[in-house]
Amino acid sequence: MTQPPPPAPLRVPVLDAHTHLDIVGGDPAVAIEAAAAVGVTRLVQVGVDVDSSRWSAQLAAAQPAVLATVALHPNEAPRLPDLDAALRVIEELARQPRVRGIGETGLDRYRTGEDGRVAQERSFRAHVQLAKDTGKALVIHDRDAHADVLRVLDDEGAPDTVVLHCFSGDEQFAVECVKRGYLLSFAGTVTFRNAPHLREAARVTPLDQLLVETDAPFLTPMPYRGQPNAPYLIPLTVRALAAAKEADLDEVCAAISATGERVFGSWRT
């Protein structure tokens, strides 16, 4: 498939708060370099199962531009023959110094049916506890499950840092999350014509609770929707965010960079 051309570089560097370079494929060093060339100087590589979490931790240990998060994805957890054994591996990986978050975990009512929901919620609760035990950010996948995600967080007690990855709610849900001090991470979906509710949500999100991500290779921003996504396409999404907020692009990039370092810690250590 054709790769979209690189967008105009950003003047102020920003990060990709959620990417899957293992699923993007190819040499991760090439993807990291292509991103840096347009001002996307730091990435968060996200694990979704034991193997990809291990891969993510290794990449972060080797690449100064990469930090990692580790977890069992909500659609993965119900399929595992031994959830507890897998959780033990995640817990071990979570203690590595360049693993800075627990995720993506959460609830998915779209892909997982009634039969998998008990295991999915049990896994989510275990990840919430792990984030609290390790003091690392909790990175949440929430698909058609806004109310249930908040219910579990209230029930377990939310960790200090909660990121809603690929924020998919409307203005009202955004206000609720902002009030709780959560971070809202917007993906390429915020550029889609049929998603005015996401631009409304971005508009009411304060700059110090805002993140930007690709979720690559998924959710490619406009005008390349349907083509493969990669971290070098972040400028398209961050420009859409600045437009939605009627804010200065450089200021938005600087704020997102600062927020990223507050949430995940420094990439330099």
Between the CA atoms of 114, 119, 124 and 127, what dihedral angle is there, to the nearest 10 degrees?
-170
Among 16, 49, 213, 215, binds Zn ion (CB under 5 A): 215
User: Which residues face 163 on adjacent strands?
Assistant: 139, 183
Q: Give me 204's structure tokens.
A: 């009411």
Which residue lies nearer to Zn ion by CB, 142 or 215?
A: 215
Sign of CA dihedral 219, 255, 97, 72: negative
By CB under 5 A, is residue 108 in contact with Zn ion? no
Which residue lies nearer to Zn ion by CB, 22 or 215?
A: 215
Sign of CA dihedral 119, 124, 127, 129: negative
Considering only the stretches 112-120, 150-158, 212-220, 260-268, report the one whose residues sit in contact with Zn ion under the rule CB under 5 A. 212-220
By CB under 5 A, is residue 142 in contact with Zn ion? no
Q: Using CB under 5 A as the criterion, what x/- string covers residues 166-205 for binding Zn ion?
A: ----------------------------------------
Shortest Å distance, C-beta 114 to Zn ion: 24
Shortest Å distance, C-beta 103 to Zn ion: 8
Which residue lies nearer to Zn ion by CB, 41 or 214?
A: 214
Which residue lies nearer to Zn ion by CB, 121 or 215?
A: 215
Determine the Cα–Cα distance for residues 6 and 8; give it in Å rounded to an integer. Answer: 7
By CB under 5 A, is residue 49 in contact with Zn ion? no
Determine the Cα–Cα distance for residues 235 and 26; give it in Å rounded to an integer. Answer: 21
Contact 247, 120 (CB under 8 A): no
The site for Zn ion (CB under 5 A) is made up of 215
